[in-house]
Amino acid sequence: MSPTVFRKSGYRFFFFSREERRMHVHVAAGSCEAKFWILPKVELAQNRRFSAFQLREIEAILKENLDELEKAWDGHFPD
């Protein structure tokens, strides 16, 4: 299961269920995908095919929506 948290600027931001416990989010668009750590700070963990420009754009979106992401994480992974 991979619930979508939100979509913005053509990117889908989502979680994978039953994955590692450190707070993170996956981002996809077309054939590109990346994983970003959310805490302790927004940081790229993995990248598949996103350009440097796209990664900076995604990071800015994540920082703008950090509260929403944290609330969604806590709601999806209550323990």
Integer Cα distance of 27 and 37 in angstroms: 11
Name the nearest CA neighbour of 28 among 1, 53, 9, 43.
9
- Is the pLDDT confidence value at 78 over 90? no
Residue 21's pLDDT is: 86
39-74, pLDDT tens digit by residue? Answer: 999 999 999 999 999 999 999 999 999 999 999 999
What angle do helix axes 52-64 and 66-76 make, rounded to 10 degrees? 80
